[in-house]
Structure 1
Amino acid sequence: MNTQRFAGKVMVVTGAAQGIGRAVALRAAAEGAKVVFVDRADFVHEVAAEAEGADTAAFMADLETYEGAASALAFAAQRFGGIDILINGVGGAIRMRPYAEFEPAQIDAEVRRSLMPTLYGCHAVLPHLLERGGGTIVNISSNATRGIRRVPYSAAKGGINALTQSLAMEYAEQHIRVVAIATGGTEAPARRIPRNAAGDTEQEKQWMSEAVEQVTQSTFFKRYGNIDEQVGPILFLASDEASYITGSVLPVAGGDTG
């Protein structure tokens, strides 16, 4: 394995303050990338500083707005002279409940959280990749396009899959690869910022346990994955080792293809 496979590359990772995004950004920095850690959490600066000896920067932005996505990518291009790779890592179900129990505002919030940052990020990065003469976008999707208790989130991730395939077809002639990874249930450290700031009711906790059971039993291994099992495939798709892969959505979910 080439441990410096991203040497000379500029990578932007969104959702880089915690979870999978944090691990991707730190691993990429260790493998030679110049990395911009983007998140709306202020501790994203602390996380970027963990990459000792690497050339990193941090930028706070709300990626649920187009202005946030555009400003983050403009910062990265100015800071490092261009962009080669974008990892769209923002997303995650806010609530778990049967679809009939979702309120309209909650449906909107799920789509805004798990689709719009990727949709905006892909659009905002294109001028920078075109100026560079090509590049790579890796979208973090999910195998939860089939699952219970999170229909709006599932719909958002289905949108990411469609975006990946259509954008890849449209920009292949400009040497831009667009790929996605469909992550399965993943064990991760406790979030410093919870997915649902309002907290879960006892009923919501029950609904979540039902979703967790479904996710676990749908895998061949009958277990959740871990963060390293997601980071490896993400960075493979981002690297030149995957130069003939575009428009693909790679399931990394223990055999559950969603």
Structure 2
Amino acid sequence: MSAPVGEGLNEAPNLFTPNRYQGLNVLVTGAAQGIGQAVAQRVAYEGGNVFLVDRAELVHEFATELGTATGVKVGSATADLETWEGAEAMVAAAKEKFGNIDIAINNVGGTIWAKPFEHYAPEEIEKEIYRSLFTTLWSVRAELPALIDNGGGTIVNVSSVATGGINRIPYAAAKGGVNALTGALAKEAAHHNVRVVATAPGGTLAPERRVARGPGPEGEQAKAWYQEIVDQTIDSSLMKRYGTLEEQAAPIVFLASPEASYINGSVLPVAGGDQG
């Protein structure tokens, strides 16, 4: 059974930094569950106002519970970030709520299918690229003018060490694109006082998703291909385990914060030693 949306919101995250985000307006995509939800929770407990975006309606329930638990300003919107129109509407809604955006954390993405590349249908490849590259590409394109107009800010993209993984080549290609976007835009946007950085998570333990990314493995062969991903992920990690949501959220929130003001263009692997 999946956990309630707001489970644990009345307890502060471990080792958080009070007031680190005081007075800052933070946009978080993919915020209804998983890493995005953990990031939003930590930012709110550190004093930041958060605007939460997801394709799932349950993001509104989470936003209400987070605002009640922390006392910060919390807004929310549903958007299809695989489209330019969705990304543009997201930024407009965040600006309407808060007036400006200081930080954008782009977290949407994730493998839909798990299988060797020769078994992907062309339409499946396109869907993987739209889910894990275009969601970030469109989001950044929509966020950047708002940050420039605000006199600067920070973009944190969530990539993946799966750029070196098996049985998800389209996802690996998409996240490789996120890495390239991060490095190139950091150079281009620096004179606008905009930092662009990323983390590259490895395998992460999380509660059962309330909104699934895809159909899930069906049949013995599909389950075996997925198990190969799990085995390779653990084997590639020097720590021989999956990470936790807090272990993923903490470096994201650090990189987005003023404490990381001299870090730019970097992609930080957060995968127990797996460099991707």
Q: TM-score range by the shorter chain?
A: over 0.9
Return the alpha-carbon distance in structure 1 between the equivalents of residues 220 and 34 of structure 2: 25
The residue that corresponds to 1:129 in the other structure is 147
Letter in 1 for 2:40: A
- The alignment yields a C-alpha RMSD, in angstroms, of 1.0
The residue that corresponds to 1:185 in the other structure is 203
- Post-superposition shift, 1:198? 6.7
The residue that corresponds to 1:113 in the other structure is 131
- Post-superposition shift, 1:204? 1.2
Contact 2:113-2:216 within 8 A present in 1 as well: no
Letter in 1 for 2:270: V
SS of equivalent residue, structure 2 residue 77: strand
The residue that corresponds to 1:24 in the other structure is 39
Check if 1:202 corresponds to 2:206.
Answer: no
Structure 1 gaps of 5+ residues are none
- Post-superposition shift, 1:197? 3.5
Contact 1:26-1:48 within 8 A present in 2 as well: no
The residue that corresponds to 1:55 in the other structure is 73
- Post-superposition shift, 1:169? 0.2
1:152 pairs with 170, 193, 216, which one? 170
The residue that corresponds to 2:19 in the other structure is 4
TM-score normalized by structure 2? 0.92
Q: 1:5 to 1:185 in 2, by over 3 A?
A: same
Return the alpha-carbon distance in structure 2 between the equivalents of residues 128 and 202 of structure 1: 48
- Post-superposition shift, 1:27? 1.1
Return the alpha-carbon distance in structure 1 between the equivalents of residues 218 and 173 of structure 2: 22
Return the alpha-carbon distance in structure 2 between the equivalents of residues 255 and 149 of structure 1: 21
- Post-superposition shift, 1:49? 1.5
The residue that corresponds to 1:96 in the other structure is 114
Return the alpha-carbon distance in structure 2 between the equivalents of residues 3 and 203 of structure 1: 48
Q: CA offsets, 1:200-225, max 9 Å, x none?
A: 33321110001100000110011000
Letter in 2 for 1:145: T
Return the alpha-carbon distance in structure 1 between the equivalents of residues 83 and 217 of structure 2: 24
Check if 1:221 corresponds to 2:239.
Answer: yes
The residue that corresponds to 1:171 in the other structure is 189
Letter in 2 for 1:91: G
- Post-superposition shift, 1:2? 3.7
Return the alpha-carbon distance in structure 1 between the equivalents of residues 136 and 259 of structure 2: 23
The residue that corresponds to 2:51 in the other structure is 36
- Aligned residue pairs total 258
Structure 2 gaps of 5+ residues are 1-15
SS of equivalent residue, structure 2 residue 238: coil
Return the alpha-carbon distance in structure 2 between the equivalents of residues 252 and 149 of structure 1: 20
2:28 pairs with 8, 13, 17, which one? 13
Contact 2:200-2:269 within 8 A present in 1 as well: yes
Moved more, 105-114 or 47-56: 47-56
- Post-superposition shift, 1:80? 0.4
Q: CA offsets, 1:60-100, max 9 Å, x none?
A: 11111110011011110111010000000000000000000
Contact 2:114-2:217 within 8 A present in 1 as well: no
Return the alpha-carbon distance in structure 2 between the equivalents of residues 199 and 150 of structure 1: 13
Q: CA offsets, 1:143-202, max 9 Å, x none?
A: 000010000000000000000000000010110000000000000000001121376333
Contact 1:188-1:226 within 8 A present in 2 as well: yes
Contact 1:185-1:215 within 8 A present in 2 as well: yes
SS of equivalent residue, structure 2 residue 230: helix
Contact 1:179-1:247 within 8 A present in 2 as well: yes
